[in-house]
Amino acid sequence: MAQPPRKSSTGKVLGIVGGAVALVVVGGIVAAVALSGAGGPKYKTVVPKTLVDGKYTLTKDLSSTAAAQVPRNGSNTHDMTTVGGQYESGSTSLVLLSMYGSVSDPLEAVKQTIHGMESSGGELAVPKQEERPHGTKEPVYCGVFVKRQMGQKFTAPFCTWADSSTTGNVMETDAERIDADPFSVDLEALAEKTDRIRSEIKVPIGK
């Protein structure tokens, strides 16, 4: 069994696992894109240099890479745009990917996003649960994904959302707790963080 990485290898682990996490999240949005309907978006999403009041710093813009893999138009899509980035804060790596366009069935898009992540290889160890941070009317849906990469098991909690204009996917890993017990993850805290990220990246079209 692979041993958890030592603190001195944090940077290397973040690079390896961050790349793997990005592939998982891309798999999710590829699955969801077919459920987006035609029409112009009311909101767009952006990739800021920092997230959560500067706690997370952008280390890699994933927009071009993700957009090359996600169809811009599909059977029920119209002019979809994909953006995203990989962020770091200490030993933590966070991957954010989002689409904006017109989403005909937001809840179904969430379901397909999670199904798409599973299809990329791995296990949904803690199933989807609805979270409403601070009583928000716009819920996020969170769970814990477990996957093996280069012989190393990693635990990756995630939260996702979808509304009539945007979808968003946040997945986080900690190099110091890379193979943590999935049921030890504080999903309420991640939901609050995701809600904050959503408010920071979602802006009205034209602004």
- List, for residues 37-81, the tens digit of each pLDDT value: 444 578 899 999 999 999 999 999 999 988 888 776 654 456 678
Mean pLDDT of 152-177: 90
- Per the domain annotation, does 180 fall within a domain? yes
CA distances to 21, 24, 44, 62, 124 from 156, rounded to whole Å, are 8, 10, 26, 18, 10
147 within some domain: yes
Distance between CA 181 and CA 128 in Å, rounded?
Answer: 16
> Residue 149: what pLDDT?
76
Q: Is residue 43 part of a domain?
A: yes
Residue 8, pLDDT score: 43
- Helices 106-119 and 10-33: angle between axes, nearest 10 degrees: 130
Q: Most confidently modeled of 28-32, 34-38, 92-96?
A: 92-96
Residue 40: the pLDDT is 59
Q: Per the structure block, which two tokens stand in for 191?
A: 């939901």
Look at the chain and report how many structural domains it folds into: 1
Instruction: Print the domain residue range for 55.
Output: 9-200
Mean pLDDT of 154-182: 91
Q: What is the pLDDT of residue 20?
A: 53
Segment 167-185 shows an average pLDDT of 92
Asked if residue 4 is part of any domain, the answer here is no
- 74, part of any domain: yes
The answer for residues whose C-beta is within 8 angstroms of residue 196's C-beta and 6 or more apart is 51, 52, 53
Report the CATH number at residue 55.
3.40.1000
